[in-house]
Amino acid sequence: MAEAFPDVGPIQYEGPDSKNPLAFKHYNPEEEVEGRTLRDLLRYSVCYWHTFRATGTDPFGAATLQRPWDDGSDSIENALRRVDAAFEFISKLGAPFYCFHDRDVAPEGASLAETNKNLDAVVARLKEKQGETGIQLLWGTANLFSHPRFMHGAATTCNADVFAYAAAQVKKAIEVTHELGGVNYVFWGGREGYHNLYNTDMQRELDHLARFMHMAKEHAQSIGFTGQFLFEPKPKEPTKHQYDFDAAACLNFIGRNGLDGVVKLNVETNHATLAGHTMMHEMEYARIHNALGSIDANTGDLLLGWDTDQFPTDIYLTTQVMLVILKQGGLAPGGVNFDAKVRRESFDPVDLFHAHIGGMDAFARGAKIAARIRADGVLEDFVKNRYRTFDEGIGAKIENGAAKFAELESYMLDKGEAAPNESGRQEYLENVINDYL
């Protein structure tokens, strides 16, 4: 096939002074940050659904995006042409990973058997292209939300046949992820939630979701798939209340259902903000529970308030994200997946390059800024000092479990009043962070 992006060559690192819009100014894949190349630290991934399946439709308007390689049909030929365009794009961009839903890459057939056959045909081409280019699969997943059969949910549906269909689909999606050497498998509960409790048995739905995850785990083990399972929190949209609301709700579900260690989290920025949290909060909450597996890098628009999935360009945001990633010592086997889409007004194919280059540069800058903040120990030293009263004396006894209420009472009766508090210095610390940006 003719090139999909004939006017764009491989994107090179040209440094901060470059004015070339098709070059990296900050992402030099070979540059080391905290002993790791940016390529290995960031593990960038391009997502198939937004980048190769989005058309620019919205609730008010028709498709706008120009994708000359895509005839808009559901033919296998079109799906295969799309694979070639995708791998050309990802290679020229220089991202080491990609990820997809089963239905992004291959069309649904008239029956499950035909659908699986379609998927196998496209997976063969994906495998060939991975071999040719060295691009790897960060994660696979199943689309359990687009088809009308999933109107009441998939693992949390009221229709047992639909549960069985979803199970068959996830079984196949895990198998193709394994076939393609995928290093993670993601569960985003597209319609695993409800709009109204008048018609919903919440207990049965949650039990079914847990059963579903255990079946997925058993199947993965039976075929030797060792990739990490990831649950992706999102509070709402499409349902009013999703069971995977935020990191805390997901970890509660994981812990209560014997899935600790089996399932970690794929945390997404715009989902965090929809839940009323910052991305840094969600990541840190996951990290301290040893469950920060991977991230979907994007950003929302606080004035719009829905899941706008924009490309991340805010250096404050990427610095905060990188502070957590560096604290954890990286994300591998997870990565930084751009679950982001160009605006429908940005309809040229080249806009896909501008969008990804901007996101990759923003995270590279965030990584370097965060590493300098960490090297100087400014936040770490402050926080350590802030909690120093728990390092010895009565504080140490509280932390190691030696102190009981009675002892704390006699300690305080003797002392009469607590030691004075110290300032939290929030404004000072915000100024310090500004000095690094």
**Residues forming the site for ligand XUL (CB under 6 A):** 49, 101, 141, 186, 188, 232, 234, 268, 296, 307, 339
Query: Which residue, chain included where needed, has tokens 């980048």?
Result: 51
Q: Which is nearer to ligand XUL, 88 or 232 (CB)?
A: 232
Find which of Co ion, ligand XUL, none residue 175 binds, CB within 5 to 8 Å per kind: none
What φ, ψ does residue 46 adopt, rounded to 5°? -100, 135
Residue 284 interacts, among ligand XUL, Co ion, none and using kind-specific CB cut-offs from 5 to 8 Å, with none
When the beta carbons of 244 and 296 are compared against Co ion, the nearer one is: 296
Task: Using the minimum distance from each CB to Co ion, give the nearer residue, 115 or 269.
Answer: 269
Binding of Co ion by 244 (CB under 5 A): no
Closest residue to bound ligand XUL by CB: 188
The reply to whether 104 belongs to the active site is yes
Distance CA 372, CA 329 (A): 15
Q: Find the shortest distance in angstroms from Cβ 324 to ligand XUL.
A: 19
Q: Binding segment for Co ion among 144-152, 205-213, 261-269, 422-430 (CB under 5 A)?
A: 261-269
Fill in the DSSP letter of residue 339: -
- Pick the catalytic residue from 104, 246, 307, 361: 104
Which residue among 50, 101, 208, 277 is the active-site one?
A: 101
**In the window 104-123, what residues touch Co ion (CB under 5 A)?**
none
Which residues 274-333 are close enough to bind Co ion by CB under 5 A? 296
Taking only Cα atoms into account, the Rg of the chain, rounded to an integer number of angstroms, comes to 24
Rounded Cα distance between 362 and 373, Å, is 16
Contact status, residue 309 vs residue 270, Cβ threshold 8 Å: yes
- Give which of Co ion, ligand XUL, none residue 234 binds (C-beta under 5 to 8 Å, depending on kind): ligand XUL
CA distance 182 to 204: 32
Number of C-alpha atoms within 13 angstroms, CB side, residue 267? Answer: 29
Least gap, CB of 337 to Co ion (angstroms):
7
Binding at 82: pick from Co ion, ligand XUL, none (beta carbon under 5-8 Å per type): none
Candidate residues 102, 192, 307, 339; the one interacting with Co ion per rule CB under 5 A? 339
Pick what 186 binds: ligand XUL, Co ion, none; C-beta below 5 to 8 Å, kind-dependent: ligand XUL
In the list 268, 282, 284, 361, the residue contacting Co ion (rule: CB under 5 A) is 268
Cβ at position 268, least distance to ligand XUL in Å: 5
Q: Which does 141 bind (CB under 5 to 8 A by kind): ligand XUL, Co ion, none?
A: ligand XUL
Closest CA to 158 of 192, 124, 125, 110: 192
Least distance in angstroms from the C-beta of 307 to ligand XUL = 5
Residue 45 C-beta-side C-alpha neighbours within 13 Å: 29
End-to-end CA distance of the chain: 44
**Beta carbon nearer to ligand XUL, 186 or 259:** 186
- Contact present, 138 and 294 (Cβ < 8 Å): yes
Euclidean distance between CA atoms 355 and 404, whole angstroms = 56
Smallest gap, in angstroms, from Cβ of residue 415 to ligand XUL? Answer: 52
- CA dist 273 and 312 (Å) reads 13
- Report the amino acid identity of residue 361: D
Mapping DSSP to helix (H, G, I), strand (E, B) and coil, where does residue 237 land? coil
Separation CA 139–CA 155 (nearest Å): 20
Q: Please give the torsion angle defined by the CA atoms of residues 49, 50, 54 and 56, in that order, rounded to the nearest 10 degrees.
A: 160
Q: Given the DSSP bridges, would you call strands 36-37 and 32-33 parallel, antiparallel or unpaired?
A: antiparallel
Which tokens sit at 184? Answer: 């993670």
Phi, psi of 21, deg, nearest 5: -65, -20
Minimum distance from residue 318 beta carbon to ligand XUL (Å): 18
Stretch that binds Co ion, among 76-84, 172-180, 336-344, 366-374 (CB under 5 A): 336-344
Is 101 considered catalytic here?
Answer: yes
CB of 270 to Co ion, least distance (A): 8
In the complex, the residues that contact Co ion under the rule CB under 5 A are 268, 296, 339
| Residues with active-site annotation | 101, 104
